[in-house]
Structure 1
């Protein structure tokens, strides 16, 4: 029997593994790769980026994923966002997702920033009418008023991040996925992005999954943390408890 007094699980990660096959020997060029592939001389070894990871997230929770580089945090977020399909297990997400994983992915560098707002908005499911209505809001947040008609190829990575963040967060999503987004751009814009994320959190209806190398930022923003190390789920609990255990390995 379902307990209707409990908040709904917005995200369910059920026994998820992500397996990549990588070449077991180093090849110098693409030609060498195809020759060995045709001759069946190329052998692959299995790499488990995630190994039987399971957790659930309730509506309105703010959960940080922590772990050393290459431990599978970003892979986990990409699986939840639907960018990658798990090799084993399944993931259920209830509601619309704003994935701030690779800011600027899907942009066309030959198009202007203004044109890319409509292009990226369409990829996120926004209609042209919606973008028309919110265009000035996006431009104002990005603070790039004088560069809207410049081709994106002339933008710095920080400027691209400004546009991408402004588009992805122009409306309140059900699930917000943030992967190192706040490390891009100048410190003032980082603070502005963090403030917008906190506004979503304060609303109580937005579920946030957050990855950052800044443990202070994770502790400041998140209520709960999940520690994933080399693809293995080590710990899941209150953010202070998990970060204490995570930091202890470096002591």
Structure 2
């Protein structure tokens, strides 16, 4: 399904500021007295003055080196973070697959986690019951239903999380690098599931270092560098600019 003209996400002058401690040198007096090194707070902008809009049904690839603000941007869209400057508006709910264990409780079993997390995302008990078998079948998790989530391999954690999140009815799907984890056969299942969601008119935000994945799913890209939006355009142009700026 092609994108419509209706904006589903609008970001205006987004800015997110974090604090970190910057070490100060210990004085001679500190050394003699055994005092610890004083630390002065330092601020940095993870994102600054970022603006864009996304039409319903678009597939957006977010490109950039590690630490350039990609995951921060997805967390803003998901509502996990609030901006220090500007605003982001999402006309509908989001299905976030931002962190492997995000929303899952390590000490709870897979079964309990699925009920808890699905409920937190707004599914009723009857809706969870109707979709439960499909979620388990997709993940291949029937043998670990009563295993604590923290005891699963990282690959199985991704299987369970993706299987649940992709069953939600939210119009926006956020995916941050998790497709890089897991075996090839399951990744292909995820690819087919994303294709089906896009065909239904879902909107995709995909953070990935895989040009193959970005070119497969996304028609448009956002290139973030040092917290700034360097380029917003067709995915091929964005990847070309990124590779020119950061040759292998």
Same fold (TM > 0.5) = yes
2:23 matched residue in structure 1: 25
Give the 5 Å matches for 1:134-145: 134-145=131-142
2:8 maps to which of 5, 10, 31: 10
**TM-score, normalised relative to structure 2:** 0.90
Contact 2:17/2:47 (8 A) holds in 1 = yes
For residues 88-122 of structure 1, the C-alpha deviation after alignment (integer angstroms, 9 at most, x for no partner) is 00000001100110132222222221111101112
2:56 maps to which of 55, 59, 70: 59
Q: Does residue 239 of the first structure (1) align with residue 239 of the second (2)? A: no
* Distance in 1 separating the partners of 2:164 and 2:45: 33
User: What SS does the corresponding residue of 2:123 show, helix, strand or coil?
Assistant: coil
Contact 2:24/2:40 (8 A) holds in 1 = no
Unpaired runs of 5+ residues, structure 2, are 26-34
2:32 matched residue in structure 1: none
1:124 matched residue in structure 2: 121
Contact 1:109/1:152 (8 A) holds in 2 = yes
2:73 matched residue in structure 1: 76
1:220 matched residue in structure 2: 216
* Distance in 2 separating the partners of 1:174 and 1:228: 24
User: What SS does the corresponding residue of 2:23 show, helix, strand or coil?
Assistant: coil
Contact 1:172/1:200 (8 A) holds in 2 = no
Q: Does residue 176 of the first structure (1) align with residue 173 of the second (2)? A: yes
User: How far did residue 26 of structure 1 move?
Assistant: 7.5
User: How far did residue 245 of structure 1 move?
Assistant: 1.1
User: What SS does the corresponding residue of 1:43 show, helix, strand or coil?
Assistant: strand
1:32 matched residue in structure 2: none
Give the 5 Å matches for 1:135-214: 135-203=132-200, 205-214=201-210
User: What SS does the corresponding residue of 1:49 show, helix, strand or coil?
Assistant: strand
For residues 178-221 of structure 1, the C-alpha deviation after alignment (integer angstroms, 9 at most, x for no partner) is 11021121111111111101111122x21111110111211111
User: How far did residue 42 of structure 1 move?
Assistant: 4.2
2:225 matched residue in structure 1: 229
Return closer, same or farther for 1:111/1:234 CA change in 2, 3 Å cut-off.
same
2:112 maps to which of 115, 121, 125: 115
Unpaired runs of 5+ residues, structure 1, are 1-5, 28-34
User: What SS does the corresponding residue of 2:82 show, helix, strand or coil?
Assistant: coil
2:98 maps to which of 97, 101, 122: 101
Post-superposition, which runs of at least 4 consecutive aligned residues in structure 1 deviate over 3 A? none
Contact 2:7/2:54 (8 A) holds in 1 = yes
User: What SS does the corresponding residue of 2:101 show, helix, strand or coil?
Assistant: coil
